[in-house]
Amino acid sequence: MTAPEVTLLVIAKEPRPGRVKTRLTPPFTPEEAAALAEAALADTLDAVARTPARRRVLVLDGSPGPWLPAGVEVVPQCAGGLDERLAGAFAGCDGPALLIGMDTPQVTPELLTVDFADCDAWFGPAADGGFWALGLADPDPGLLRGVPMSTPHTGAVQRRRLDGLRVRELPLLRDVDTARDAAAVAGAAPGGRFAARLARLTAARR
């Protein structure tokens, strides 16, 4: 099975002040945190747009904006907790799929180009104990429902759900949650929109 047969899913919130990246406030204002979220989402979608794929789908809570590149479909998130919304994203797929969020703007097409020829799943652990990517050759929403989200053990619980499957690991990445995370991620991807936006906001505070 070749990578272009894979559906790439991005689950995200519309970057509106007060609704995204609230752990960045302080030191940033809600408007600045939303601007950083928008830059992170734009970087993420740019990487997705440049990755060979069968479909590219943004599973969105909110409305699309000028940050949406051509060639990316938009579908609404379903109701419920994050586990239900992730499960719902996979439920809309009829073939192999890789799901990521908007918190890792350092992703690249190379990281997102996965092949299911010799595995059933891909798992990308996050430094905070969660996971930044999950790929399933045969999307089963039941593998996500009931997984406790946003805890230090989320990744471990989700990884155990994959027991019995042939799993390949993606590199450990750091999510953007706090200002310290933002600085580290910007340093890992200095040429992106996120790093540029963070640099402008930081310079304005001096």
CA dihedral of residues 174, 175, 176, 179 (deg, nearest 10): -50
Beta bridge partners of 10: 58, 100
At position 143, the amino acid (one-letter code) is L
Task: Look up the CATH number of the domain holding residue 191.
Answer: 3.90.550.10
Let me know: does 82 contact 158? Beta carbons within 8 Å: no
Mention every residue, 6+ apart, whose C-beta is less than 8 A from residue 202: none
Indicate whether 76 pLDDT > 50.
yes
Indicate whether 3 pLDDT > 60.
no
Q: What is the mean pLDDT of residues 45-66?
A: 97
Return d(Cα 110, Cα 60) in angstroms, integer: 24
pLDDT tens per residue, range 137-167: 999 999 999 999 999 999 999 999 999 999 9
> The dihedral of CA 116, 119, 121, 123: what is its sign?
negative
Q: What is the mean pLDDT of residues 169-173?
A: 98
Q: How many domains does the chain have?
A: 1
pLDDT tens per residue, range 77-107: 999 999 999 999 999 999 999 999 999 999 9
pLDDT of 82: 97
pLDDT of 4: 58
Helix (H, G, I), strand (E, B) or coil at 79: coil
Return d(Cα 95, Cα 138) in angstroms, integer: 6
For residue 57, the enclosing domain spans 3-204
- Percent of the chain scored above 90 by pLDDT? 95
pLDDT of 204: 83
Indicate whether 10 pLDDT > 80.
yes
Mention every residue, 6+ apart, whose C-beta is less than 8 A from residue 22: 30, 33
Indicate whether 54 pLDDT > 70.
yes
